[in-house]
Chains A and B, each alone.
Chain A
Amino acid sequence: MIKAEPIERESETPAPEHESALVARARQGDLQAYDELIKRYQERIYATIYHMTSNHEDANDLAQESFIKAYSALKSFKGGSSFYTWLYRIAVNKTINFLKQRKNRQAMSLNDIDFQAEHDPDLVALVSEKTPRREAGLNELQEKLNEALLKLSEPHRLVVVLHDVQGQSHEEIAKVMDCNIGTVRSRLFYARQQLQSYLSDYLKK
């Protein structure tokens, strides 16, 4: 089993009382407060949707629609979970519904890889060590990785994205997916096995 690395998040989770104050103001129709909430979570919501769809344009539309839907449904937000978890559920459900509809049309529109990737120790190790396809550049690896992810079912892909890419804990994922932790673990294990078989040419042996 691999361990989930803590992800460096650009914006830390805000203090609960501050978030609840913003949510209360947004519920009263204060769009400035909602703008602040969007700015806090836009990167994480967008990234999750993008990694699920492997398409920037779709991720942009779905992320915007998720925030719009969340705003219109704020009255129904009871505060049982954090606003972030609730928002995440909306985004994830919207994305899964979208993916089910576009089953036969999986066009990728990938974002560029930032310049920091060349200095990422994990990627340096992966490319420089003796892999079966050591000559493969980062762009080719990116394409193959996204293709492999798209072959997974939506729940399995979501678990991999949330845990291995975004660094969320099993508990957080269970809350978002509304299932128990055991289901999350088993899905994660199965998804990794699948990915490993799809990407065997690009993984060192």
Chain B
Amino acid sequence: MLIYTLKRLLQAIPTLLIVITISFFLMRVAPGGPFDGERQLPPEIEANLMAAYHLDEPLPMQYLRYMGNLLQGDFGPSFKYKDFSVTELIAQGFPVSLEIGGLAILLALIIGLPLGIAAAIRRNSTVDYVVMGTALTGIAVPNFVIAPIFALVFGVLLGWLPAGGWNGGALPNLVLPVVALSIQQIAYIARMMRASMIEVLGSHFIRTARAKGLNEGEVIWRHAIRPALLPVMSYLGPAIAGIITGSVVIEQIFGIPGIGRYFVQGALNRDYTLVMGTVVFYGVLIVLMNLIVDLLYSALDPQIRYDD
């Protein structure tokens, strides 16, 4: 198991190199630079800026410089947020995204799994239709529509919860963003759980269990749920990685200081170092999440062993 883990981590290195290289050069060939803005700068001043950030060097030089710094764990200073290094920004933004995203996934599991199971057991009943209909509505409405509606209705018109802001992660500030972020996840998880439950319930060993005279509740609890969770598990790894970096819309609408916005803002502002930093960080995150999921998978499914 340990050897397998190490091997996987080693394999991740070339992958990350590819990611870094592609992103680095894509970013640099993009038209526009970090200092292109409403105020056009006099040539002298622009030259000063370029020199200050080593942007006047040839591109391969810049690449080597970046890689060199990266090896020392230095993501460099942000172009836009000049008083902070990229490392500081990620260290500040990631926990926030993790909290929002983690809670949203948790909520989605707590609500989505039972719904999916119920729908599968009562397949083609009213319960099934209602659950799946609601789930599909959740999928069909983009969260950049849901989030502003939440903010307006519950934040402004009803005044029940803060309409935005982070406030150090205070509970009332968490509710709306987490719920808005989890709605689609609830829907996905419910659908997936339903599908895999149906599959498991139709399999031979469940039939055998029934034939042995176990009652239905026992069949479901003891035998069906665990294997049915496997596909949901493999969904969760990337979903977690995605949701914590990807709640861009939610972060923007609720003014939450997370990491997702850094990437989008960085890409749009040509904040080269910030974009690269988030890409590298995210690449590592994916590798780790996949690894964790695979390891958990083997824990849940005794048929899978990693000996190689």
- Whether A and B are associated in the same complex: the answer reads no
Contacts from A to B (Cβ < 8 Å): none
Contacts from B to A (Cβ < 8 Å): none
